Structure 1
Amino acid sequence: MSVSLYYCASRAMPLTDAETADVERIVAAHMASFPYEDQESLYLYDSDDSRPDEVVAGSTKMPLDPDRVLTVLDHVLGSVTELRRALPGAEWRVHLDDLDVPWEETDGYAFPGMRDADLAAELGGL
C-alpha cells in the first residue's frame, strides 16, 4: 500500500507570467536539490480545463523505504511551502492521504516534530 502527498492551490485569477516563472524556478530548484534519483519527487499536474480555478496541483508518492520518508516529505513540503508563498491569494489544500498537513506562517508546511533534530537523529537523520 502506498501513501501520497497531495497539494492543490485554487483562486479565481490565473497565474501571471511572473508567477508562472516563479513556479518553474521553484520546481527546477527542487529537482536539482532532491536527494534521490530513483524516488518520486515534486510532481505538478498539467492544467485541467475542468477545474479552471486550480492554479497548481500535484502529488508525490512517498517511499516505501522508512529511512527515506522523512527526507522526501521534508523536501517536498519545503517546496510546496515556497510555492504557497509565491502565489498570494490562493487557497491551498495539502494532505498526506486523508491527513491534512498543518500550515504555520513561520515554518510553512510540516507535521509537529517533523523537523526536530533529536527525532531526526534517532530515526537515522534527515
Structure 2
Amino acid sequence: MSVSLYYSANRPTPRTRAETAAVERIVAAHASSFPYEDQESLYLYDGDDSRPDRILAGSTKMPFDPALVLPVLDLVLGSVTALRRALPGAEWHVHLDDLDVPWGEADGYAFPGMRDTDLTAELGGS
C-alpha cells in the first residue's frame, strides 16, 4: 500500500502571469535539486475544469524505503511551502493521505519533529 502527499490551493481569482512564472521557477528549482532519481517528486496536475477556483494541485507518492520518507517529505514540503508563499490569498489543503500537514508561518509545512536530525539519523536518513 502506498502513501501519498496531496497539495491544493483554491482562490476565486486565477493565477497572475507573475505567479505562474514563480510557480514554474519553484518547480524547476525543485526538479534540479531533487537528489533521489528513483523517487517520485513534486508533481503538479494540469488544470481541473470542474474546479474553476483551483489554482494549483498535485501529489507525490512517498518512497517505500523508510530511510527515504523523511528526506523526500522534507524536500517536497519545502517546495509546497514556497508555492504557498508565491500564491497569496489562496486556501491551501496539504495532507499525507488522511493526515493534514500543519502550517506554521516560520517553518512552513512540517510535522512536529520532522526536521529533527537525531530522528532522521535514527531512521537511517542522512
- Give TM-score scaled by structure 2 length: 0.98
- RMSD (CA atoms): 0.7
Q: Which moved more, 1:75-84 or 1:115-124?
A: 115-124
Q: Does 1:89 align with 2:98?
A: no
Q: Does 1:19 align with 2:37?
A: no
Q: What does residue 105 of structure 2 align with?
A: 105
| Secondary structure in structure 2 of the residue aligned to 1:2 | coil
Task: Give the Cα separation in 2 of the matches to 1:89 and 1:23.
Answer: 15
Identity within the alignment, %: 80
Q: What does residue 65 of structure 2 align with?
A: 65
Task: Compute the displacement of 1:124 (Å).
Answer: 2.1
Could you tell me whether the CA contact under 8 Å between 2:68 and 2:125 is conserved in 1? no
Task: Give the Cα separation in 1 of the matches to 2:2 and 2:122.
Answer: 24
- Aligned residue identity for 2:13: M
Task: Give the Cα separation in 2 of the matches to 1:97 and 1:120.
Answer: 21
Gapped regions of structure 1 (runs ≥ 5): none
Task: Give the Cα separation in 1 of the matches to 2:100 and 2:90.
Answer: 17
- Aligned residue identity for 2:107: D
- Aligned length in residues: 126
Task: Give the Cα separation in 2 of the matches to 1:108 and 1:87.
Answer: 14
Gapped regions of structure 2 (runs ≥ 5): none
Could you tell me whether the CA contact under 8 Å between 2:66 and 2:123 is conserved in 1? no
Q: What does residue 78 of structure 1 align with?
A: 78
